Amino acid sequence: MEGFHALIFLIILLYVISTAQYATLGIQPAASDRAALLSFKSLVDDDPFGALSSWNNGSLHYCRWRGVSCGRHHPDRVTALDLKSLRLAGLISPAVANLTFLQRIDLSDNMLDRSIPEEVGSLRRLRYLNLSVNSLGGTIPSSLGNCSNLRLLNLRGNNLNGEIPPTLSRLSGLRDLLLNQNMLQGTIPDSLGNLSSLVVLSLDNNNLSGAIPPSFGSFLSLKTLAIQSTSLTGTIPPTLANLSSLNMLLLRQNKLHGEIPHFAELPFLSRLDCSYNYLSGTIPISLGRLSSLEYLSLGMNNLTGEIPPTLYNLSSLKTLELPYNQLEGTLPSDIGNALPNLQVFRMYNNQLEGRIPASLSNASKLNHLELSANAFHGTIPSSLGALQSLSWLALAINRLEARKPNEWSFITALTNCTSLRVLDLGDNLLQGMMPKSIFNLSTSLNILALANNHISGIIPTEIEKLINLTVLDVSGSDLRGTIPIEISHLWKLQRLDLSDNMLSGEIPPTLGNLTLMDKLYLGSNEFEGAIPPTLSNMLMLELLNLSNNRLSGSIPREVLSLSSLTNFLDLSHNLLNGSLPLEVGNLINIGTLDLSNNRLSGEIPDTIGKCTILEILYLENNLFQGSIPSSISNSRGLKALDLSKNFYSGQIPAFLEELPDLKYLNLSFNSFEGPVPMKGVFKNVSEVSLIGNPKLCGGIPELHLPKCTSDVFAVKHHYDYKLKII
């Protein structure tokens, strides 16, 4: 009986306590929870999965509505609202604030918009608020600073703007604060440093300015600090180097300057990313103390000096990226033994020198090795062939040598790398015949770039074995012979660059079978014969350069029908003859058209006026005649026009002075006559050349042309007048 009385007493006591709580907080009891939920539902204007369809069913208690949980001690009070990923659209009702027992709100990954109701700030019991991945706008309510029990505040991936309210610094129990991927502005409040329980702080992808508050050095439990892609300036506060629990420090892509601070021993730091900033000075020796570091990225800065040897103590490193700095010195010969876990090693665009260490092959999981644009010399170590995972090998723009055939043996070794996708050895000192073994490289190879070396011999027919090639660049070498028809079997090719060699014979018509081709460069060789009309099958072709060859015959109208050509079409310096086909007007997206230095004749077809995006038109040194078609005035963006050394006649059309961007006009050595316009490009002698047209007159005095007789003026005025009427 004693026990029973005690129990009754306890129940009564609990009731008194809870009602007292209602009384003190001025909150109406349980009955209104249902009304608040219905208010929430009423402002959801799209619910494609019918998630809230149970939310009005008279027979079902609201504590059993989908996503609603109620308390154990207060069975009528809503404690959690879990409605994530239901594509709910509409706004969040301020009435949720009436659910005073709420501990948890998860409305993440919906399509809720408008602002976060200020009233949410009155939810004193709230521990978890996840509104991430919605379309919420407006500012973060400063009242959230009143939710003193909040452990998690996740507002990631909304359209929140305004500043971070300093009141958030009152949330002393907050462990996770995620405000990333919004449009927050202003500076980060220094007082956030008071959030001494923080474990995760992410402010990535906002428009924050100002500096990182030094007070952030007091987050002794912080594991992740992510402030990337904001616009922060200032230096990295040295205090951050003391955050002893830190796991990840991510400061990529800001405008931070100054030196990288000296790090204390941070036993848990595994990821450090300060890339894409304006950091200068040397890499601190103290980085060598970060014994758990797996990922170190300091690229795209202005770091100088040598790589501190202590970095090679970091045997856990998997990724080491220091590209685009001004680092000097050599790589240690035992690097592969010191960093046995290395997978990604990116050092391109620095001033490193010395040899490529053969020991890299001991980092057996290495898959990206990118050392381009440095000053490495010596031969390429064959040991790289032992790297089973190697997929990306970029050693371009160095002084690497292969003079004797055995110095090419690395290629044979690389045939063991069955995952190789990219091999870029361009701009080095590789000489001699392309070793046949190159065609035994993995069929997974996508990019083979050997440009600007001294590779001689022919392109072997075995090239067809590299069936996965999308890019083949052997430009700027000493290749001879013809293009093997087998190249046409590389059906995935998107870019083929054979320019600047001594290749000869005809361009194989079967090249047209390469229908994914995007850029085709065959310029500066000794190709002859006609341009194959089949090239017009390359329906994705953006750029075609066949210049500086001995191609003859007329320009195939089919090729001019490639409306995909946007970049440029360069057929200059050949022996092409005949007239320019009307189809030139199909090049509606072309930016540069260079047909200069051929034997083209006849008039320029009016259809050229359909090339409205044309910026550069070079037709000089041909046999063209007639007048300049007025349709050219449709190319409003024309910047350069060269018609020199032809047989053009008639007056210089006045529309040329109206083209706003025209900065280069060469009409010399033709038979133009009459007055020279005075405005636009004609105002500046350095932008216009008219010599060798004896019948021209007028123009600005600096042109030193004879004065025009009055009746010629009259003609010009008349023309001007007509043009204006049009």
Q: How many residues bind ligand NAG (CB under 6 A)?
A: 63
417: buried, middle or exposed (CB in 10 Å: 19+, 13-18, 0-12)?
A: buried
Q: Which of 103, 154, 572, 666 binds ligand NAG (CB under 6 A)?
A: 154
Residues 454-493 that bind ligand NAG (CB under 6 A): 467-468, 485, 488-489
From 1-9, 52-60, 651-659, 684-692, give the range in contact with ligand NAG by CB under 6 A. Answer: 52-60
Task: Assess contact for 463 and 486: CB atoms under 8 A.
Answer: yes
344 binds ligand NAG (CB under 6 A): no
Helix (H) or strand (E) holding 68: strand 68-70
247 binds ligand NAG (CB under 6 A): no
Q: How far is the CB of 287 from ligand NAG (least distance, A)?
A: 11
From 4-12, 138-146, 569-577, 691-699, give the range in contact with ligand NAG by CB under 6 A. Answer: 138-146
233 binds ligand NAG (CB under 6 A): no
Q: Which is nearer to ligand NAG, 149 or 416 (CB)?
A: 416
39 binds ligand NAG (CB under 6 A): yes
Q: Which is nearer to ligand NAG, 35 or 582 (CB)?
A: 35
Q: How far is the CB of 436 from ligand NAG (least distance, A)?
A: 16
d(CA 379, CA 336) in angstroms, rounded, equals 17
Helix (H) or strand (E) holding 142: none
Q: Which is nearer to ligand NAG, 467 or 539 (CB)?
A: 467
Q: In 10 A of CB 77, how many CB atoms?
A: 18
Q: How far is the CB of 478 from ligand NAG (least distance, A)?
A: 26
591 binds ligand NAG (CB under 6 A): no
- Of the candidates 177, 174, 176, 172, the residue with the CA atom closest to the CA atom of residue 194: 172
Q: Which is nearer to ligand NAG, 387 or 560 (CB)?
A: 387
Which residue shows structure tokens 């149970």? Answer: 54
From 56-64, 570-578, 597-605, 681-689, give the range in contact with ligand NAG by CB under 6 A. Answer: 56-64
Which segments within 209-268 are labelled E, that is strand?
224-226, 248-250, 257-258
Q: If you ran DSSP here, which 8-state letter would residue 394 be given?
A: E
20 binds ligand NAG (CB under 6 A): no
Q: If you ran DSSP here, which 8-state letter would residue 35 be given?
A: H
Q: How far is the CB of 315 from ligand NAG (least distance, A)?
A: 9
Per DSSP bridges, beta strands 447-449 and 592-594 are: unpaired
Residues 553-582 that bind ligand NAG (CB under 6 A): none
In a 3-state reduction of DSSP, which class is residue 566?
coil
Longest dimension (CA), the chain: 130
Q: Which is nearer to ligand NAG, 215 or 586 (CB)?
A: 215
In a 3-state reduction of DSSP, which class is residue 265?
coil
Q: How far is the CB of 310 from ligand NAG (least distance, A)?
A: 4
Task: Assess contact for 165 and 140: CB atoms under 8 A.
Answer: yes
Q: Which is nearer to ligand NAG, 95 or 394 (CB)?
A: 95
Q: Which of 115, 191, 552, 561 binds ligand NAG (CB under 6 A)?
A: 191
- Of the candidates 383, 288, 386, the residue with the CA atom closest to the CA atom of residue 338: 288
143 binds ligand NAG (CB under 6 A): yes
668 binds ligand NAG (CB under 6 A): no
d(CA 10, CA 5) in angstroms, rounded, equals 8
382 binds ligand NAG (CB under 6 A): yes
Q: How far is the CB of 245 from ligand NAG (least distance, A)?
A: 13
d(CA 466, CA 602) in angstroms, rounded, equals 45
What are the beta bridge partners of residue 226?
A: 202, 250
- Of the candidates 403, 406, 496, the residue with the CA atom closest to the CA atom of residue 455: 403
Q: Which is nearer to ligand NAG, 332 or 578 (CB)?
A: 332
In a 3-state reduction of DSSP, which class is residue 233?
coil
48: buried, middle or exposed (CB in 10 Å: 19+, 13-18, 0-12)?
A: exposed
**Long-range contacts of 62-68, Cβ-Cβ distance < 8 Å, separation of 24 or more:** 62/33, 62/34, 62/37, 65/37, 68/37
Q: Which of 18, 115, 159, 416 binds ligand NAG (CB under 6 A)?
A: 416
From 209-217, 245-253, 372-380, 609-617, give the range in contact with ligand NAG by CB under 6 A. Answer: 209-217
In a 3-state reduction of DSSP, which class is residue 570?
strand
Residues 103-122 that bind ligand NAG (CB under 6 A): 108-109, 121-122
Q: Nearest 10 degrees: CA dihedral of 700, 703, 709, 715? A: -60
d(CA 20, CA 82) in angstroms, rounded, equals 29
Binding residues for ligand NAG, per CB under 6 A?
A: 28, 32, 35-36, 39, 57, 59-60, 84, 95, 98, 108-109, 121-122, 130, 132-133, 142-143, 145-146, 152, 154, 167, 169, 183, 185, 190-191, 193-194, 207, 209, 215, 217, 238-239, 242, 264, 278, 280, 288, 302, 304, 309-310, 313, 382-383, 385-386, 413, 416, 443-444, 467-468, 485, 488-489, 510, 513
